[in-house]
Amino acid sequence: MSQAATPTLKLTRKDFMSDQEVRWCPGCGDYAILAQMQKVLPELGIPRDQLVFVSGIGCASRFPYYMNTYGFHTIHGRAPAIATGLKISRPELHVWVVTGDGDGLSIGGNHLIHALRRNVDIKILLFNNRIYGLTKGQYSPTSELGKVTKSTPFGSLDYPINPIEIALGAEATFVARSVDVETKHLQETLKRAHEHKGSAFIEILQNCNVFNDRAWEPITDRATKADHQLVLEQGKPLVFGKNREKGIRLGKDMNPEIVTLGDGVDTSQLLVHDETNPSMAYILSRLGPQFPTPIGVFRAVKRMTYDEGANAQIESAKKRLGPGDLEAILNRGDTWVVK
């Protein structure tokens, strides 16, 4: 039923743009994310009809309307559940979920956790702007403590959630972070998610210029980002800084610490990133405010996917019990004949 992906398929960014006018606010970070997705997809060689974008509610969740693929704009927080049913029964499809910090971590937190731990082969993009945009500016589960918003004029009392830690805690097999304005990095991360077999979770730091402008400064600011971004690369030491002069090593009590290279400190003492090491992912997810913010792939490991398992069970049941015989199951157990 499905067409195999062929590298000869010549699609362009334009092929993935739908006929709908994009209705995000001018300057919204979502435009950049949409653009990177539309740039990356032609490189993957997948026919448009094999792609499905499923979303919940919120600004981010308008995403499917702008993609010229199959799309399902569903209800608040529930996209992972709907995507799960779709992917289990149609494992050949490429299913992407688009959600936000409110949709995915507040009302839909439960579905997100369970989709990740089941390792359903869906790709979940969580646009994190630390605010409710569509409802016009209330604090979200990722807003900082004390945040003053329309619904918290005296400051928010909610301690913020860390999306990466949630994903790791849910035993997600692929966990990454990228940034709306880091176009190349975002493209690479989207490709990695696509290549991963199993659920992939990407937190995308995204700017809401209307209700929470500059929420991710100084990570995104050209002048400061070198000191505030820690770009994760598999097998490479954790180095950052304008002149790549700083690094992170494991200090006393197993706590990470920032060191300046030189003066007897060299890269051999630094932590080396390993996407398959759960402790590494955990340390990186919990770096405190004095540390740079890691972007890249925290964790990428292999585990059987739920959809694979579900379909394998059907095949093995057919082998063991033979193909379903309706007449036989209707007549199962003790029967008798009335003449």
Partner 1 sequence: MTTHIETPPRPQVPKRHEELDEVVIRFAGDSGDGMQLAGMQFSNETAVAGTDLATLPDFPAEIRAPAGTLFGVSGFQVNFSSHDIFTPGDNPDVLVMMNPAALKVNLRDLKPGGIIIADTAEFTENNLKKAGFATNPLEDGSLTKYQLFPVDITQMTLRAVEGLNLNTKVASRCKNFYALGLTSWLFTRPIDPTIRWIEGRFKKTPELVDANIRALKAGYHFGETAEMFAVQYEVKPARLAPGKYRNITGNSATALGFIAAAERAGVPLFLGSYPITPASDILHEVASYKNFNVYTFQAEDEIAAVGSALGAAYGGAIGICTTSGPGMLLKQEMINLAVMVELPLIIADIQRAGPSTGMPTKTEQADLLMAIYGRASESPVVVLAPATPGECFFMAFEAVRLAAKYMVPVIYMSDGYLANGAEPWKIPKVSELPQIDVQFRTSPEGFQPYLRDPETLARAWVKPGTPGLEHRIGGLAKEDVTGHVSYDPINNEKMVRLRAEKVARVAMDIPRTDVHGDPSGKLLVIGWGSTYGALVEATERVRAQGKSVSHVHLRYLNPLPPDLKEIIHRFETVLVAELNTGQLLKIIRAEYLVDAKGMNKIQGYPFKVGELMQKIQELLEE
For the beta carbon of residue 244, count every other beta carbon within 10 angstroms.
12
Write out the H or E segment, with its range, that includes residue 167.
helix 163-169
- Choose between 117 and 249: whose C-beta lies nearer to partner 1: 117
The minimum distance between CB 194 and partner 1, in angstroms, equals 17
The minimum distance between CB 228 and partner 1, in angstroms, equals 36
Cα–Cα distance for residue pair 172/163, rounded to 1 Å: 12
Are residues 127 and 204 in contact, defined by beta-carbon separation less than 8 angstroms? yes
- Choose between 67 and 175: whose C-beta lies nearer to partner 1: 67
DSSP state of 24: S
The minimum distance between CB 178 and partner 1, in angstroms, equals 25
- Choose between 64 and 296: whose C-beta lies nearer to partner 1: 64
Beta bridge partners of 96: 53, 123
Closest CA relative to residue 209, chosen from 20, 5, 30: 30
The minimum distance between CB 255 and partner 1, in angstroms, equals 35
Treating both helix axes as pointing N-terminal to C-terminal, what angle do 29-44 and 183-195 enclose, rounded to 10 degrees? 50
What is the sign, positive or negative, of the torsion defined by CA atoms of 180, 181, 183, 185?
negative
Are residues 172 and 199 in contact, defined by beta-carbon separation less than 8 angstroms? yes
SS3 state at 273? coil
The minimum distance between CB 216 and partner 1, in angstroms, equals 29
- Choose between 4 and 157: whose C-beta lies nearer to partner 1: 4
Cα–Cα distance for residue pair 220/229, rounded to 1 Å: 8
Q: Which residues bind partner 1 (CB under 8 A)?
A: 1-3, 18, 20, 47-50, 52, 54, 57, 64-65, 67-75, 78, 80-90, 92-93, 110-111, 113-114, 310, 313-314, 317-318, 320-324, 326-327, 329-339
For 133-145, the DSSP string reads: TTTTSB--TTSPT
- Choose between 254 and 314: whose C-beta lies nearer to partner 1: 314
Cα–Cα distance for residue pair 133/62, rounded to 1 Å: 12
- Choose between 13 and 73: whose C-beta lies nearer to partner 1: 73
The minimum distance between CB 87 and partner 1, in angstroms, equals 8
The minimum distance between CB 309 and partner 1, in angstroms, equals 11
- Choose between 52 and 175: whose C-beta lies nearer to partner 1: 52
Beta bridge partners of 249: 257
